[in-house]
Amino acid sequence: MALTNSNSQSNASAIAFFTFTTPAKLDRTNYTIWKQQSYIDGSSLCPDQFLSPGSEGTSSITEGHENPEYAVWKCQDQLLLSWIMSSISVEILSLVVSSKTSFELWKNLEKQFGSESMAKKVHLKMLLNNLRKGSPTMTKYFTKLKTVTDGLALVGSPVSEIDLVTHHITGLDQSYYPVVFTLRQIYVV
C-alpha cells in the first residue's frame, strides 16, 4: 500500500483516499484467513519525529521541527490502524483497542490467536492421521479428507499431494485394496 508522495511536501498531498470493505469482520473463527491476506511485518519503520542536527536537508532553522517523513508515516499508519480496527468484531476489538500503531495491533492479534492456531493445526493433523473410511460413502470420506486438508492449508500447514494420496489410501479398508494397489503403482513411480 503506497500512500506517499515522492517529494513528501505535505500531509494533504501524501494521502490517498480509498474505500475498502471486508466481507467478514475479523473474529475468533477467521483469524488464519486474515493472517494469510495481511502483510504487516513492521518493515516500514517510524522515522524520527523531529529533525536533528546532521540530518540530511536540515539547517539550524529547521532543526527541532517535525520531520515531514514522520508526518507522512504517521498518517499512513493511522489510516491502516483505523481500517483494521473498523474491520474487527467488537469482541476482538476490546483486546486490541489500546494499540498505538498498526504493527502493534497486528502483534497483539498474533499473540492472542497464535496459540489457538497451533492448537487447531494439531487437532486437524490428528483428525487427518486417524481418518478412516468406515461405513460412509466414498464421496463422504473424500469430502471429509478435503475439509481437513483445506483446514490445514488455512492454518499454514498445507498437505502435499503425495501425503494426500497416502492419507486417502491408508484410510481405506480391505475391499479397496485393488484401488490402493493401482494408486501405489501410479504414485510410487
**pLDDT of res. 155:** 81
Q: Grid cell 479398508 — which residue?
A: 173
Contacts of 101 (CB under 8 A, 6+ apart): 46, 77, 81
Cell numbers of 83, please? 481500517
Q: Which of 29-33, 84-88, 118-122 has the lowest mean pLDDT?
A: 29-33
pLDDT tens digits, residue range 91-126? 999 989 999 999 999 999 888 887 777 888 999 999
Whether pLDDT at 36 is above 80: no
Cell numbers of 159, please? 498437505
Contact 51, 67 (CB under 8 A): yes
Q: Which of 53-57, 149-153, 176-180 has the lowest mean pLDDT?
A: 53-57
d(CA 94, CA 109): 11
Q: Grid cell 493445526 — which residue?
A: 121
* pTM beyond 0.85: no
Contacts of 37 (CB under 8 A, 6+ apart): none
**pLDDT of res. 98:** 94
